[in-house]
Chains A and B, each alone.
Chain A
Amino acid sequence: MKLSKYGSLIKGGIIEQLQFRTSAILVVVCNLLYLLLIYFLWKAIYASAGTDVVNGMTFSDTMIYLVFASALFNFMEMWIAWNMGSDIRDGRIIIDLLRPIPYPLYLFCALSGNCIVKFVTTFMPTAVVVYFVVGGEIHLGWNILWFVLSASISLVINYFINLFVGTICMYTESIWGINIMKEVVVGILSGATIPLVFFPDTIRTIVMYLPFQAIINSPLELLLHTEYSLGQIGEIIGLQVVWLIVIGLLCNAFFNLSVRRITVNGG
């Protein structure tokens, strides 16, 4: 049966992820340190601003946005480009390329298993803690549904961006450099570092036309802005879907083109 093939790959990913408990704790602790830092920074920033609401965001809105941004960022981090890079260097990638399933699909199934575990172990606790800490400032309603829908699309867009970067590693010997550049670009342009509403107008307009905002900013906007009409919601999710298709096609084309010229050292 076709489905069971993917099912067992996902299961494998789940089991694999459950093995790395200590590194999961480390991610949570590091994340807490990061959140502590931005909490104090934004508190100081808002204290100097003089008003409570800046560009339509209160201090707690900003914190909810940034906490969820970092939770999403961590939850979606797949280390694809790192793993692909080292698999290419030592030739192990050939085993995965020879499998009777397209490599991008194979990788996606295996990694979605990891993501399911990370969703339950890191994302859910964060969401629950934040909900109680901000004292019900997160509206519980249809926005949760839109958020989940939008975040699932984000996950796939992020996967394709990662795969694209991983494919670049086939051409360069560099893994660290390429990855760090990707993290910088995605971190800033997705809104994960600073909410996009604080960007100057012209820059924000440009950033909104780029695919990166669809990863973090779109789901968070749907979560925080309960006043959006169905038309606005449709627009945001529609744009995400368009990016998903465009990047998916682009990434597949680039991968298929590159895989033909790959040279693997032994393996």
Chain B
Amino acid sequence: MKKRTLAYYLRIYLKILAQDIKSKMSYRADFFISTIGMIATNIAGVLSFWLVFQTFPSINGWNYYEMLFLYGFSLVSATPAQCLFDNNWNLRFQVYSGDFIKYCFRPINVFFYFMSEVFDIKGLGQCIFGIVAVAYAWIKLGIPFEFYSILLLIVAVLSASLFVIAILNLAASACFWLVNAFFVLTLSNQLRDFAKYPLTVFTPALRIAFTFIIPIGYMAYYPSLLFLRPEEVSWIVWLTPIFGIAFFYLSYKVWMKGALAYSGTGS
């Protein structure tokens, strides 16, 4: 048996991915319209900030460009979850219908195989939009453009994205135990909207909940502080990468626990 190196997994991933892209490309019109739709949603998000800032000077001391930065950051950090882990949204149907059992028989990690089956291309449109928003806000805010800050931004985005993925994994894995699991997934998706705004607008109780119970704050707000309000950064922010890895690992374990306990539907 071949040794399971990272390169081995990457090769397999690309092979499975190619099949998905091929099947998607047979619905080319759908792909283009979906991408435009995705970008339209994001434009609407920015447009609503812009409209608010036409009448009001700030949101809790945050100006338009700072809000734009936060919004763009949340879009970029959501991209890995959107592109690479989107199959989580289908998990419920597969578990319910019994199709999920096929993944359990493959001689490869179930989680890896399941996730590699779908690559959501339209997430890339969202990513590009987010990058443009962050770059525009970056220039307008006059944040120094250095090698160090770019590196920090990349690390910050990657750590934040781990939280988005982990919450998606956890919410999706609820379907291994619950029948009406779409509840959890839809609610967690709705909660993600809270990540697009500064945590300071919420009451202290919610702020604590979003820091220690449901880690919404790490998806965009805390990492963004590194660039927007360096003086407000607390030690918690520097731990984001470690928390992110730990939380992702936890979600992986929970997901796998559900998957390995899955006994099929008997069909």
What distance in Å separates the Cβ of B184 from its nearest Cβ neighbour in chain A?
10
Q: Which A residue sits closest to B182, measured CB to CB?
A: A26
* Residues in chain A near residue B180, CB distance under 8 A: 22
B8 within 8 A of A: no
A96 within 8 A of B: no
B44 adjacent to A200 (CB under 8 Å): no
B47 adjacent to A174 (CB under 8 Å): no
B144 within 8 A of A: no
* Residues in chain A near residue B97, CB distance under 8 A: none
Taken together as a complex, chains A and B put the C-alpha atoms of A30 and B183 apart, in Å, by: 9
Residues facing A in B16-45 (CB within 8 A) are 27, 29-30, 32-38, 40-41, 43-44
Taken together as a complex, chains A and B put the C-alpha atoms of A54 and B197 apart, in Å, by: 22
What distance in Å separates the Cβ of B237 from its nearest Cβ neighbour in chain A?
21
A41 adjacent to B38 (CB under 8 Å): no
Number of residues in A with C-beta < 8 Å to the partner?
39
B57 adjacent to A198 (CB under 8 Å): no
A15 within 8 A of B: no
Interface string of A6-42 (1 = CB under 8 A from B): 0000000000000000100010011001100100110
A174 adjacent to B48 (CB under 8 Å): no
B36 adjacent to A41 (CB under 8 Å): no
A37 adjacent to B55 (CB under 8 Å): no
Residues facing B in A158-216 (CB within 8 A) are 172-181, 184-185, 187-188, 193-194, 198-200, 203
What distance in Å separates the Cβ of A75 from its nearest Cβ neighbour in chain B?
18
Name the contact of B56 in the complex, choosing from A34, A48, A174, A177 (C-beta under 8 A).
A48
What distance in Å separates the Cβ of B197 from its nearest Cβ neighbour in chain A?
6
A250 within 8 A of B: no
B59 adjacent to A41 (CB under 8 Å): yes
B36 adjacent to A177 (CB under 8 Å): yes
* Residues in chain A near residue B52, CB distance under 8 A: 45, 194, 198
Taken together as a complex, chains A and B put the C-alpha atoms of A180 and B59 apart, in Å, by: 27
B1 within 8 A of A: no
B44 adjacent to A187 (CB under 8 Å): yes
What distance in Å separates the Cβ of B123 from its nearest Cβ neighbour in chain A?
13
A44 within 8 A of B: yes
Number of residues in B with C-beta < 8 Å to the partner?
41
A181 adjacent to B60 (CB under 8 Å): no
* Residues in chain A near residue B30, CB distance under 8 A: 172-177
What distance in Å separates the Cβ of A18 from its nearest Cβ neighbour in chain B?
17
B38 adjacent to A180 (CB under 8 Å): yes
What distance in Å separates the Cβ of B34 from its nearest Cβ neighbour in chain A?
4
Name the contact of B190 in the complex, choosing from A30, A176, A184, A188 (C-beta under 8 A).
A30
What distance in Å separates the Cβ of B185 from its nearest Cβ neighbour in chain A?
10
B61 within 8 A of A: yes
Taken together as a complex, chains A and B put the C-alpha atoms of A40 and B200 apart, in Å, by: 10
A43 within 8 A of B: yes
Q: Which B residue sits closest to A179, measured CB to CB?
A: B37
Name the contact of B201 in the complex, choosing from A34, A40, A179, A185 (C-beta under 8 A).
A40
What distance in Å separates the Cβ of A112 from its nearest Cβ neighbour in chain B?
26
* Residues in chain A near residue B267, CB distance under 8 A: none
B213 within 8 A of A: no
What distance in Å separates the Cβ of A258 from its nearest Cβ neighbour in chain B?
16
15 contacts between A and B (CB under 8 A): A29-B187, A30-B186, A40-B197, A41-B59, A41-B201, A54-B56, A174-B27, A176-B30, A177-B33, A178-B33, A184-B43, A184-B44, A185-B40, A198-B51, A200-B54
- On A, residues with C-beta under 8 Å from B are 22, 26, 29-30, 33-34, 37, 40-41, 43-50, 54-55, 172-181, 184-185, 187-188, 193-194, 198-200, 203
- On B, residues with C-beta under 8 Å from A are 27, 29-30, 32-38, 40-41, 43-44, 47-48, 51-52, 54-61, 180, 182-183, 186-187, 190-191, 193-194, 197, 200-203, 206
Q: A175-B30, A185-B40 are in contact. List 4 more A-B contacts (CB 8 A).
A: A33-B187, A40-B206, A45-B59, A177-B37
